[in-house]
Amino acid sequence: MGYYIGVEPGVNIYVEDVNPTGNKTILLIHGWPGDHNLFEYQFNQLPKMGYRCIGIDCRGFGLSDKPWSGYDYNRLSDDIRCVVDALKLQNFTLGGHSTGGAICVRYMARHNGYGVSKLALFAAAAPSLIQRPYFPYGLQKQAVINIIQGVYKDRPNTLREFGSMIFHNYVSQPLSDWIFQLGLQAASWSTAAIANTWLGEERLFNDLKTIKVPTLILHGINDQVCLFPLAISQKYSIKNSKLVPFEACGHFLFYDQRERFNKELVQFIEE
């Protein structure tokens, strides 16, 4: 079931609600530059086990509206709150991948984890995607600057180059092409704006410390985008958290190790 939810005047967010009568709910937030379809292989399996799976397309991506502004973590987390309120969600698991994980972390801090009983972070871009003087574990700043410049000069080629970084294990060319097409559905200005947040002051060190609910951290050791030390930092910052390293696994761990990813997620929800 797909529909739109208004999050502010003139801006509507697309929501995919699979198995609305499921006995437990997980709300999934995608990473850059995709949309909710990145979780296709969770939507295929988890509803069979009785779960309600909800995916949203963040503003600027997928089927959602693509306004010029509103791409900071505060506004993006407020969009999640609008969806939670509209669907009257309670006691749900909130899961986010990459930048989606960062947005989930901001949601937990800004909205006091409203409605969330458990949090799951998948290769999350937290507490900082890039290296800083006090945090030497992320990507070099220039790497992100190159991405932003590439979006403005040749977005398709930039997304192709990004696609070459996200897998550790083999995926078919058609699957890679499909993910590439999901990225092209985003607005170019949205794609650049999200990348710009990685450079700015969107730091999540304090946000992580506010999280009180049980938290699962799944992260590929071979991740070339959100480097594995980010997961270690998340583990140390979130008191009630569990880190599960995925060996021989890259940034898109729900493709690199699909069966294990689903198993770990379901086990966590059931604990």
Residue-wise pLDDT for 214-237, tens only, equals 999 999 999 999 999 999 999 999
Q: Name which of 147, 135, 127, 123 is nearest 226 in CA terms.
A: 123
Helix axes 141-163, 188-199, angle to 10 degrees: 140
Q: State the catalytic residues.
A: 98, 223, 251
Report the number of secondary-structure helices (H) and strands (E) in the chain: 10, 8
Fold annotation for 2-270: Rossmann fold (3.40.50)
269 vs 32, 36, 49, 209, 263, CA distance in Å?
25, 20, 12, 22, 10
Q: Is 139 helix (H, G, I), strand (E, B) or coil?
A: strand
Q: How many residues does the chain have?
A: 271
Give the phi and the psi of residue 261 in degrees, each rounded to 5.
-60, -50
Asked if residue 210 has pLDDT above 70, the reply is: yes
Mind listing the pLDDT tens digit for each residue in 17-28? 999 999 999 999
Mean pLDDT, residues 13-36: 97
Asked if residue 170 has pLDDT above 70, the reply is: yes
Q: What is the pLDDT at residue 220?
A: 98
**Average pLDDT for the chain:** 96
Domain ranges of the chain: 2-270
Mean pLDDT, residues 98-120: 98
Mind listing the pLDDT tens digit for each residue in 40-58? 999 999 999 999 999 999 9
Asked if residue 251 has pLDDT above 90, the reply is: yes
Q: What is the pLDDT at residue 1?
A: 81
Mean pLDDT, residues 81-105: 98
Q: Which two tokens stand for residue 68?
A: 């010029």
Asked if residue 160 has pLDDT above 90, the reply is: yes
In angstroms, rounded to a whole number, what is the distance separating the alpha carbons of residues 187 and 171?
A: 26
Q: What is the pTM of this model?
A: 0.97
Q: What is the pLDDT at residue 42?
A: 96
Asked if residue 202 has pLDDT above 70, the reply is: no
